[in-house]
Amino acid sequence: MKPIVSILGTIAAIALFPHIAQASAYTTSNRSTSIHISELPGRSGSAIGTGYYSTSVGGREWGGNFQATSVTSSGGIRTYTGTFTDQRSGPGATQQCKGQLKLQRPVSNSGPARLRATWTITGGVNCPSAVGSILKLNLTEAVPVANSSGNFLASNANTIQSETAGNATWPLWVVTDPTRLNCRATAPSGTVVTTFPKGSTVDVGYLGLNSFITAGGASWLRVPSKNCFIRANSQYIKPKLMPF
């Protein structure tokens, strides 16, 4: 079968989801391919998966979207089955592919969620892959990773949808401090406005570049709802998993 470029896509497809909060993101280990999925209420009240995907392979980019027609759970695995369409961007003759897409993820997990994606080609316009070709990829939920000093910054704690611009911070954080985490009016030694106990979730919303500040040689994260700052270090917080 043909390489990934035959059926995956560009980040331009983000326009399908103007609100970052809608999508949960998964990526391959080298982040060359990402998949974004959300669950929206169906007509019958059940959740229906929909989303988009992107990649850059060999200097050529593809963008696509998919719509689940069925969502089932069995044996601890949630499966989305539906259709996809995609297209290569850039100059040259039109290249499009379409077919069936199946996404599978564990219903519960102790770490970042895993996603198994299977594309089956059924047609298209100048699609590089033959009808019947199948591509499978393993992806992992794309959560922020602290730097070598354990600090979370605007550059490494944004969402994958905005990682090049840093204009949307990861919204939910779990307190890992062994006792409690102080939230100060000003960093680094301002009045303690409130405290968050170990294991509690801190919601900072989807802030932009001003969500993080450096004070006293340390990184701090703004908590808008409390109008205070918490230490943004892996000793004190970790990103909360948000897989759909």
**Can you give the three-state secondary structure of 34-70, one letter per residue?**
EEEEEEEECCCCCEEEEEEEEEEECCEEEEEEEEEEE
- pTM, two decimal places: 0.75
pLDDT digits (tens, 9 = 90+) for 15-72: 333 333 446 889 998 888 999 888 766 555 555 788 999 987 667 899 999 999 998 9
Estimate to the nearest angstrom the gap between the alpha carbon of 135 and the chain centroid.
Answer: 21
Alpha helical stretches, state H, 12-165: none
Contact assessment for residue 169 and residue 157, using Cβ atoms and an 8 Å cutoff:
yes
Phi, psi (rounded to 5 degrees) for 13 = -70, -5
- The closest alpha carbon to 125, from 154, 156, 85, belongs to 85
- 26's tokens: 């998964």
pLDDT at 15: 33
Contact assessment for residue 25 and residue 46, using Cβ atoms and an 8 Å cutoff:
no
What are the residue boundaries of the structural domains of the chain, listed by start?
4-141, 160-239
Identity of residue 37:
I
pLDDT at 159: 82
Which top CATH class is 160-239? mainly beta
- Cα separations (Å) of 36 from 45, 155, 196? 22, 20, 31
- 81's tokens: 């089955």
User: Could you give the CA distance from residue 95 to residue 115 in angstroms, rounded to a whole number?
Assistant: 27
pLDDT at 23: 61
pLDDT at 57: 67
Phi, psi (rounded to 5 degrees) for 31 = 60, 20
**């770490």: which residue's tokens?**
111
List, as one string, the DSSP characters of 181-220. Answer: EEEESSTTT--EEEEEETT-EEE--S--GGGEEEETTEEE
Identity of residue 27:
T
Give the residues of the chain that fall short of pLDDT 50: 1-22
Q: What share of the chain is helix, strand, coil (3-state, %, to 5)?
A: 5, 50, 45
User: Could you give the CA distance from residue 39 to residue 24 in angstroms, rounded to a whole number?
Assistant: 9
